[in-house]
Amino acid sequence: MVAGLTKGERQLALLISIAVAFIGLAMAGAGQGGAFGVHGFIVMAFGIGTIFVVISGYFLPEPGDERLAQYYDDPIKFGIVVSMVWAVFGMFIGDWVAWLLAYPEMTFDAGWASFGRLRPVHTTAVIFGFVGNALIATSFQVVQRTSRARLPDQLSPWFVLIGYNLFCVIAVSGYFMGLTQSKEYAEPEWYADLWLVVVWVVYFLLYLRTLMRRREPHIYVANWYYLAFILVVAILHIVNNLAVPISFGHAKSYSAFSGVQDAMTQWWYGHNAVAFFLTAGFLAMLYYYLPKRAGRPIYSYRMSIVGFWGITFFYMWVGSHHLHYTALPLWVQNLGMTFSLMLLVPSWIAAANALLTLNGAWHKVRTDATLRFMMVAAVF
Amino acid sequence: MFNTHYRLERHSIRFVLAVMVVASIGGLVEIAPLFTIDETVEAAPDMRVYTPLELAGRNIYIREGCYACHSQMIRTLRDDVERYGPYSLAVESKYDHPMLWGSKRTGPDLARLGGKYSDEWHVAHLIAPRDLVPESVMPNYGWLMRSELDTQDLGLHLRAMRKVGVPYSDAMIENATADAIGQASPDKDAAEGVAERYGEATTIRSFDGDPRRVTEMDALVAYLQILGRLTDAAHVQSGAGRMEAGE
Amino acid sequence: MSFDHGMLVGFAKSYGLFYLLGLSVAVLIYTYWPSNRARFDRAAKSVLNDEDGPWQ
C-alpha cells in the first residue's frame, strides 16, 4: 500500500491522516459524549489508524520510474475486497431484518436492534458499501485501460477509496445510534454528507485528470457512463442534503425543504441515486467487461451513444412516479410517469446491445461462467 | 456542427458540462415550479407550528425509523380516504422539515392518527403492540418509557427550524425547554406558557400517564396525537367538495 | 422579472417538448453521421487490443 507511494505522497498522506485525526478530536470534544462525540472518536481512530499504516511503510524504498510503464492496480484490489466485505455484512443485515418481520420481538428491548434502525443499515451497506466500492474500483481499472494512461498519481485513488469507506462507516454506525435524516438512501447527517462531497470532488478530479492524459482520440463509451455516474450523483447529493444543523456540536439537522418540495427533491434524488449508481455505473462496467470477455466489439457503438443520452436525459425526470396520488401537483406526476415509460427505450437499447454483442460468441457463453453471469445480468 | 460534438467528447471538460446540463433539466423543470407555488400549497391561516414537545417526539419518530413502515400521506384513492379520512393536502406538511410521507406501507398510514385513540392506548400499544393488535409486526418500544427526554437543546432545534422557514417567535425559542416540560406536566406553572404561545387548543397533559417525569414516550405520544391536527384545511376542503357534489 | 407558477409550468410544458425533440435529433444526427463511423468502429474495437500498459 504505502510502498507504491512516492516520498512526497507519503508525507501528504501523513498530513491528511493527522488532519482527519484532529477533526475527529474536535468532533469528540464538541459532541460531549453524545452520538456526535462517538462519531468524533470513530473519525479519530480512523485517522490514527492510517497514520500508523503510513508510518510503518514510511521508510520503505521509493517506487522507481519503471512503475509508470504499468497501470496502477493496487487500490483496485483493495476496493474489490472491501466491496465484498460490505456485501457480506449488508446482506447479513438484510436477512436479519427480514427475520424481524416474522419475529418482531427479537429486538433485545433496545432501540438499536429494531427494524426501523436496521433497515437503512442494510440499504446503505449494500448500495453504498458493496456497489459504491465496486463502482469506484472498476472505474479505476476501466479508465486506465480505455485511455491507455496510468492514474496521474498514487495517493488520490487511496484517498478516494479510504475516505469513501470512512463515509460508509460513519453512515452505518450512525443508524445504530439513531442518527438519520430520514431521507431514504440519503440518511447520513450533515457532517458525513460534507465529507462525502470532499471525497467525491477528489474522485471527480482524479477521473478527469486520467481522461485528459489519454492517448486515444476518443473517450470510450464506458467512461461516459462512469462520468455521468460521478457527476449526477454529486448534483443529487448536494441538492437533496441541503440542511441546517442545529449547531456544529450536534449531529441533528433540519432539511432546507419541507413538505411537497422536500418530497419531490427526495424522490428526484432517490430515484436517480438508483439510476446513476445502479444503472449508469453498471452499464459502464457492461460496456467494457462484456466485449472484453466475449472477445467481440460491442454490437452497435452507435446504439450505445443513443442509449447514453437517452438514459442521462430521461432518468432525471422520472422520480415523481414515487409520488402518485399524493399532494404533489398532478402535472408533475404525469410528467414523471410519461418519462418512465419512455425510459423503456434506452433500457431496452442497452440490454439488446449487450445480448447482440454475444452473437457469434454463444459457444463461449456455454462454457464461460463469467460470461454467463453477464448475460443474465444484461437480461435483467 | 458535427465537429462541435466531436470536439465536445474530445475535450473531457466540455463533455462534463454537457452531461450536467442534460441531466439537470429534468430536475429543474419538475422542482423549480414547486417553489413558486401559489396553487401547489393551499392557504391555511389556522395552521400552527409544532410545540417543542411535539417536535422532540417527531425527532424520535425519525430516529427510530418509523417512516420505514408508516406513511403520512393519504392518497386520493377511495380505499385510502375511506380508511383514513380526507386525503392529505400539501399544506399539511408545510412545516415538515423533512417531510415524512414515507414510501412503504407495511403499517397503517398515520397522517390523521391524532385524536383517534387515547393516550393510554398509544402507550400500551408502543410497549407491546401485539397485546392490542395481534397481527402487528411492529417492534416493542417499551424502553421509551424509561428514557428521560433530552429537552436541553430544544431551543437550538427551534432556531434551526426558523432558519429553514418555520415561523417560531423569539419567545418560543427562548422558552423551548420550559414549554416541552410544561406541556407534559399540567400541574406545573410552565404549562400556562404553552397555551399562551401555541394556542388554547394545545393539548397539555401527561401523555405517558406519569406526570412526575417527561419521557421520550411523552414526546412521541404528543406527536402522534397532533398528526393531522395542525390545521383543519383538509376537513374544510372535503366538506366543501361534498356540498358542491350535492350531498 | 418575476417568475410565477403558471409561467414556469407553461415554460416546462412548451419549451420542454422542443428541447426534448431537439436533443434527440442532435444526438441521432451525431450518432449516424457517416464520417463518424470510422471513429466509432475504432473505439469499439479498442477495448479488445491486449493491453501493453500505459503510454509513457
Same domain, B30 and B74: no
pLDDT over 60 (residue B8) = no
**Count of residues making up chain C:** 56
Do B36 and C3 count as a contact with CB atoms less than 8 A apart?
yes
Tell me B98's DSSP state. S
Residue B148, classed as helix, strand or coil, is strand
Same domain, B26 and B56: no
Same domain, B28 and B60: no
Contacts of C19 in chain B (CB under 8 A): 25
Output the 3-class SS for chain A. CHHHCCHHHHHHHHHHHHHHHHHHHHHHHHHCCCHHHHHHHHHHHHHHHHHHHHHHCCCCCCCCHHHHHCCCCHHHHHHHHHHHHHHHHHHHHHHHHHHHHHCCCCCCCCHHHCHHHHHHHHHHHHHHHHHHHHHHHHHHHHHHHHHCCCCCCCHHHHHHHHHHHHHHHHHHHHHHCCCCCCCCCCCCCHHHHHHHHHHHHHHHHHHHHHHHCCCCCCCCHHHHHHHHHHHHHHHHHHHHCCEEECCCCCCCEEECCCHHHHHHHHHHHHHHHHHHHHHHHHHHHHHHHHHHHHCCCCCCHHHHHHHHHHHHHHHCCHHHHHHCCCCCCHHHHHHHHHHHHHCHHHHHHHHHHHHHHCCCCHHHHHHCHHHHHHHHHHHC
Architecture of the A71-379 domain: Up-down Bundle (1.20)
- Grid cell at residue B168: 417560531
Interface residue of A99, A241, A254, A304 to substitute, partner B, most B CBs within 10 Å = A254
Q: How many CB atoms lie within 10 A of CB A206?
A: 23
For the stretch A80-104, pLDDT in tens is 999 999 999 999 999 999 999 999 9
The answer to whether residue B179 sits within a structural domain is yes
CA distance linking residue B233 with residue B92, whole number of Å? 8
Q: What's chain A's Rg over C-alpha atoms? A: 22
Confidence of residue B200 (pLDDT cuts 50, 70, 90): confident
pLDDT over 90 (residue A223) = yes
Do B36 and C33 count as a contact with CB atoms less than 8 A apart?
no
Of B5, B25, B33, the CB nearest to C8: B33
Give the number of domains in chain B.
2
Q: Which of B83, A116, C34 is nearest to A107 (CA)?
A: A116
- Under a CB-based contact definition with an 8 Å cutoff, are residues A317 and B26 in contact? yes
- What integer pLDDT is reported at residue B72 of this predicted model? 96
Q: Which A residues 4-63 touch B at CB under 8 Å?
A: none
Same domain, B162 and B221: yes
Confidence of residue C56 (pLDDT cuts 50, 70, 90): low
User: Per mean pLDDT, which range of A15-29, A109-123, B19-33, B123-137 is the poorest?
Assistant: B19-33
- Under a CB-based contact definition with an 8 Å cutoff, are residues A161 and A87 in contact? no
- Closest CA of chain A from C56, distance in Å: 7
Residue B135, classed as helix, strand or coil, is coil
Confidence of residue B12 (pLDDT cuts 50, 70, 90): confident
Looking up cell 421509551, which residue turns up? Answer: B144
Same domain, B205 and B163: yes
pLDDT over 60 (residue B10) = no
For the stretch C18-53, pLDDT in tens is 777 888 888 888 888 888 888 888 888 888 876 677
- End-to-end CA distance of chain A: give it in Å, rounded: 37
Confidence of residue C1 (pLDDT cuts 50, 70, 90): very low
Average pLDDT of chain A to the nearest whole number: 92
pLDDT over 70 (residue A32) = yes
The predicted model gives B91-104 an average pLDDT of 93
Same domain, B113 and B8: no
CA distance linking residue A255 with residue B63, whole number of Å? 15
* Chain B neighbours, 3+ Cβ pairs < 8 A: A, C
Contacts of B80 in chain A (CB under 8 A): 325
Provide residues of C within 8 Å CB-CB of chain B: 3-5, 8-9, 12, 16, 19, 23, 26, 29-30, 33, 35-36, 39
The CA distances from residue C45 to A71, A291, A352, B204, C39, in Å, are 20, 9, 19, 74, 10
Contacts of B18 in chain C (CB under 8 A): none
Give Cα C40 distance to the centre of its chain. 14
- What integer pLDDT is reported at residue B147 of this predicted model? 93
The answer to whether residue B219 sits within a structural domain is yes
Looking up cell 414516550, which residue turns up? Answer: B217
Same domain, B88 and B170: yes
More confident residue, A272 or C5: A272
- What integer pLDDT is reported at residue B239 of this predicted model? 74
- Closest CA of chain A from B175, distance in Å: 16
For the stretch B20-46, pLDDT in tens is 887 777 777 777 777 766 555 777 888
Same domain, B186 and B229: yes
**Count of residues making up chain A:** 380
pLDDT over 70 (residue B241) = no
C5 touches chain A (CB under 8 A): no
3-state helix, strand, coil in chain B (%, to 5): 55, 0, 45
Give Cα C19 distance to the centre of its chain. 12
- End-to-end CA distance of chain C: give it in Å, rounded: 55
- What integer pLDDT is reported at residue B6 of this predicted model? 52
* Chain A neighbours, 3+ Cβ pairs < 8 A: B, C
The predicted model gives A118-130 an average pLDDT of 96
- What integer pLDDT is reported at residue B121 of this predicted model? 97
CA distance linking residue A161 with residue A293, whole number of Å? 26
Dihedral of CA A56/A58/A64/A69: which sign?
positive
Confidence of residue B112 (pLDDT cuts 50, 70, 90): very high
- Under a CB-based contact definition with an 8 Å cutoff, are residues B9 and C36 in contact? no
Average pLDDT of chain B to the nearest whole number: 88
- What integer pLDDT is reported at residue A366 of this predicted model? 87
Q: Which B residues 144-183 touch C at CB under 8 Å?
A: none
The answer to whether residue B100 sits within a structural domain is yes
- Under a CB-based contact definition with an 8 Å cutoff, are residues A121 and A178 in contact? no
Q: Which B residues 12-51 touch C at CB under 8 Å?
A: 22, 25, 29-30, 32-33, 36-40
**Count of residues making up chain B:** 247
Same domain, B79 and B163: yes
Q: Hey, where are the domains in chain A?
A: 1-70, 71-379
User: Domain of B33?
Assistant: 2-40
- What integer pLDDT is reported at residue B143 of this predicted model? 94
For residues A146, A278, B9 and B19, what is the CA-based torsion angle, rounded to 10 degrees? Answer: -160
Same domain, B10 and B117: no
Same domain, B147 and B215: yes
CA distance linking residue C38 with residue B219, whole number of Å? 69
CA distance linking residue A100 with residue A77, whole number of Å? 35
pLDDT over 80 (residue B231) = yes
Q: Which of B21, A228, A313 is nearest to C21 (CA)?
A: A313
Which amino acid makes up residue B162? R
CA distance linking residue A373 with residue C14, whole number of Å? 44
Same domain, B154 and B180: yes
CATH number at residue B200: 1.10.760.10
Q: Which of A135, A11, A9 is nearest to A76 (CA)?
A: A135
Strand partners, A254: A244
Of B87, B90, B156, the CB nearest to A259: B90
- End-to-end CA distance of chain B: give it in Å, rounded: 64
Looking up cell 468502429, which residue turns up? Answer: C41
Q: For A107, list phi and psi in degrees, rounded to 5.
A: -115, 10
The answer to whether residue B46 sits within a structural domain is no
Output the 3-class SS for B37-75. CCCCCCCCCCCCCCCHHHHHHHHHHHHCCHHHCCCCCCC
Do C51 and A295 count as a contact with CB atoms less than 8 A apart?
no
- Percent of chain A topping pLDDT 90: 69
- State the angle between helix axes of A74-102 and A133-147 in degrees (0 to 180), rounded to the nearest 10: 150
> Between B and C, how many residue pairs show a Cβ–Cβ distance under 8 A?
29
- Percent of chain B topping pLDDT 70: 90
Looking up cell 479519530, which residue turns up? Answer: A44
The answer to whether residue B45 sits within a structural domain is no
- Under a CB-based contact definition with an 8 Å cutoff, are residues A212 and B12 in contact? yes
Confidence of residue B161 (pLDDT cuts 50, 70, 90): very high
A157: cis peptide before it, omega within 30°? no
User: Per mean pLDDT, which range of B79-83, B84-88, B109-113, C44-48 is the poorest?
Assistant: C44-48
The answer to whether residue B138 sits within a structural domain is yes
Q: For B215, list phi and psi in degrees, rounded to 5.
A: -105, 170
The answer to whether residue B47 sits within a structural domain is no
- Under a CB-based contact definition with an 8 Å cutoff, are residues B243 and B76 in contact? no
